[in-house]
């Protein structure tokens, strides 16, 4: 047991206590089998059941249509930056006989990293959005330029449009699903906001999310793909077009055809995904979770905005403020350190901004309780009153 922490870390992040309690039991002795979930074969009936039930709960929670497949990978979000390239270019090659280009909407450091990886793997990348250009200093993120300014390719040449639904470092979240030209697949990194709101799966070719923020522990990535995109030309045809062949651990058809068990999947970590998604389902599903997430975020931004002028500085444009990662700075020598020290003294931890941008970052994932937000809000107000 433990005292419930007021922890706002960006990931790995807080998990619901009841999930952890059940997981602790299952790590020792799963379903009275005499073995724990980290010990059983990934090919055993018990393990297959863990995979099938996590899949089924995700499908139900996100209303995933029959024309889509849910599967699990290792390699984290970063593994997906590469997997997207191999897999989406291969399905585009089957459709068109060509090596496709790719559009990237770069609105923060994670979409930037994804674009850089695509370039490294030889993709003709079009930075349809480079949001840094829109910032005051030309370097930082904090804005999503109006879609009328995006320079998107067309379905004859462009395999996919890639974006990150919530940028965890800079705290920029899309308030809408980007519109893409007919026939171009939309790919979304939802690592840090999946399960915090409803979305229409049918708008996407591929959605992926590393589990370690809102779904579970590091070690599994959840993917949802349009089944059509699993068809492939022959390897020789891909090679002839200059498209790199996917390593088998990132090859979506290989993973899907083997029920995500082509190689050893971390079954315990996936079980946490199953327990977390089941809990969300039992609590009323994503509509309920969305209302909770929105209310907590609104309270935090409201508190920051109503502080006396100049105490807190929220850098991100109001139109795309993240509900998951609330980022701000506290101008003045030593002020941020004083804020963090005072927070720590009140049991509020995990608030330091990402090392690349500094400042303060409050991660408001599903497992962060109203009570934790209230204790933090109280500290934000107290600090402002004494600033
Ligand atoms: N995408 C987003 C939005 C992230 O927040 C992160 C990690 N924090 C990643 C990708 C990279 O994930 P990983 O560390 O699992 O490779």
Give the pLDDT band (50/70/90) at residue 1: confident
When pLDDT is averaged across residues 194-204 and rounded to a whole number, the result is: 98
When pLDDT is averaged across residues 37-65 and rounded to a whole number, the result is: 97
Same domain, 301 and 241: no
Same domain, 272 and 336: no
Provide DSSP, 154-193: -TTTEEEEEEESEETTTTEE-SSPPP--TTPEEEEE-TTT
In-domain check, residue 107: yes
**C-alpha to C-alpha distance for 387 and 382, rounded to whole angstroms:** 9
Centre of ligand 1 from the C-alpha of residue 207, in Å: 14
Tell which residue, 211, 223, 213, has the closest CA to residue 273: 211
In-domain check, residue 9: no
In-domain check, residue 321: yes
Ligand 1 pocket (Cβ < 6 Å) reads 11, 76-78, 110, 164, 168, 189, 191-192, 210
Residue with the two structure tokens 């999503």? 144
In-domain check, residue 190: yes
pLDDT exceeds 90 at position 28: yes
Same domain, 329 and 203: no
Residue with the two structure tokens 């609590």? 283
pLDDT exceeds 90 at position 357: no
Tell which residue, 267, 73, 91, 281, has the closest CA to residue 195: 281
Same domain, 164 and 184: yes
Give the pLDDT band (50/70/90) at residue 204: very high
pLDDT exceeds 90 at position 340: yes
In-domain check, residue 15: no
In-domain check, residue 274: yes
Instruction: For residue 213, indicate whether it is catalytic.
Output: yes
Task: Enumerate residues 6+ apart whose C-beta is below 8 A from 20.
Answer: none
In-domain check, residue 364: yes
Domain that holds residue 203: 21-281
Instruction: For residue 379, indicate whether it is catalytic.
Output: no
Question: Is 22 in a helix, a strand, or coil?
Answer: helix
> Residue of the nearest CA to atom 3 in ligand 1?
191
Same domain, 126 and 212: yes
Provide DSSP, 288-330: HHHHHHHHHHHHHHHHHHTSPTTS-B--S-GGGB-SSEEEEB-
Same domain, 272 and 358: no
Summarize pLDDT for 66-118 with one digit per residue, the tens. 999 999 999 999 999 999 999 999 999 999 999 999 999 999 999 999 999 99
Domain final residue pick, 262, 281, 300: 281
CATH code for position 355: 3.90.1150.10
Q: Which of 213, 251, 296, 379 is catalytic?
A: 213
Out of 39-43, 129-133, 201-205, give the one with best mean pLDDT. Answer: 201-205
Same domain, 34 and 131: yes
Give the pLDDT band (50/70/90) at residue 132: confident
- Which is the closest atom of ligand 1 to the Cα of 165? 3
Domain final residue pick, 228, 260, 281: 281
In-domain check, residue 348: yes
Determine phi and psi for 53, rounding to 5 degrees. -75, -35
What integer pLDDT is reported at residue 109 of this predicted model?
94
Summarize pLDDT for 209-257 with one digit per residue, the tens. 999 999 999 999 999 999 999 999 999 999 999 999 999 999 999 999 9
The answer to whether the Cα torsion of 139, 142, 147, 149 is positive or negative is negative
Summarize pLDDT for 257-280 with one digit per residue, the tens. 999 999 999 999 999 999 999 999
> Both tokens of residue 168?
């965890």
Same domain, 205 and 346: no
Q: How wide is the angle at C-alpha 118 spanned by C-alphas 106 and 64, nearest 5°?
A: 75
% of the chain at pLDDT higher than 90 = 95
Q: Which of 110, 165, 226, 251 is catalytic?
A: 110
**C-alpha to C-alpha distance for 185 and 59, rounded to whole angstroms:** 20
Residue with the two structure tokens 């390239």? 85
Burial per residue of 312-345, b for 16 or more beta-carbon CB atoms within 10 angstroms, e otherwise: bebbbbeebbbbbbbbbbbeeeeebeebbeebee
**C-alpha to C-alpha distance for 256 and 73, rounded to whole angstroms:** 10
Same domain, 145 and 211: yes
Domain final residue pick, 256, 281, 306: 281
> How many domains would you assign to the chain?
2
Kindly indicate whether the ipTM for this predicted assembly is greater than 0.95, answering yes or no: yes
Determine phi and psi for 384, rounding to 5 degrees. -65, -40
- Which is the closest atom of ligand 1 to the Cα of 164? 3
Summarize pLDDT for 144-192 with one digit per residue, the tens. 999 999 999 999 999 999 999 999 999 999 999 999 999 999 999 999 9
What integer pLDDT is reported at residue 19 of this predicted model?
97
Same domain, 177 and 255: yes
Q: What is the rounded average pLDDT for all residues in the chain?
A: 96
Same domain, 125 and 262: yes
CATH code for position 209: 3.40.640.10
> Both tokens of residue 15?
């998990």
% of the chain at pLDDT higher than 70 = 100
Same domain, 248 and 310: no
pLDDT exceeds 80 at position 136: no
> Residue of the nearest CA to atom 9 in ligand 1?
77
Instruction: For residue 110, indicate whether it is catalytic.
Output: yes
């Amino acid at each position: 047991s433990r005292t419930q922490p007021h922890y706002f870390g960006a990931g790995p992040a807080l998990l619901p206590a009841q999930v952890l309690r059940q997981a602790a039991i299952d790590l020792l002795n799963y379903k009275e089998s005499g073995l724990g979930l980290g010990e059983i074969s990934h090919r055993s009936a018990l393990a297959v059941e863990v995979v099938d039930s996590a899949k089924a709960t995700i499908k139900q929670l996100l209303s995933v249509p029959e024309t889509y497949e849910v599967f699990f990978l290792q390699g984290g979000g970063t593994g997906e930056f590469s997997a997207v390239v191999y897999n989406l270019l291969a399905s585009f090659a089957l459709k068109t006989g060509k090596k496709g280009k790719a559009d990237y909407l770069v609105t923060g450091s994670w979409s930037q990293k994804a674009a850089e990886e695509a370039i490294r793997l030889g993709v003709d990348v079009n930075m349809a959005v480079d949001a840094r250009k829109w910032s005051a200093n030309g370097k930082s993120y904090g804005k999503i330029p109006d879609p009328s300014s995006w320079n998107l390719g067309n379905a004859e040449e462009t395999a996919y449009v890639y974006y990150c639904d919530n940028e965890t470092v800079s705290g920029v979240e899309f308030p809408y699903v980007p519109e893409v030209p007919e026939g171009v697949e939309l790919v979304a990194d939802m690592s840090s906001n999946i399960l915090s709101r409803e979305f229409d799966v049918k708008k996407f070719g591929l959605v992926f999310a590393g589990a370690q923020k809102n779904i579970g522990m590091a070690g599994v990535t959840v993917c949802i793909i349009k089944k059509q995109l699993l068809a492939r030309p022959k390897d020789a045809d891909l090679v002839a077009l200059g498209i790199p062949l996917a390593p088998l651990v990132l090859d979506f058809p290989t993973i899907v055809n083997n029920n995500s068990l082509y190689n050893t999947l971390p079954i315990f970590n996936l079980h946490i995904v199953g327990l977390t998604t089941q809990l969300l389902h039992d609590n009323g599903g994503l509509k309920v979770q969305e209302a909770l997430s929105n209310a907590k975020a609104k309270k935090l931004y409201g508190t920051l905005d109503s502080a006396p002028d100049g105490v807190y500085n929220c850098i991100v444009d109001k139109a795309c403020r993240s509900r998951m990662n609330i980022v701000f700075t506290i101008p003045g020598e030593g002020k941020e350190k004083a804020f963090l020290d005072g927070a720590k003294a009140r049991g509020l931890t995990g608030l330091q901004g990402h090392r690349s941008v500094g400042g303060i970052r409050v991660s408001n994932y599903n497992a962060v309780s109203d009570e934790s937000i209230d204790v933090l809000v109280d500290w934000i107000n107290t600090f402002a009153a004494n600033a």
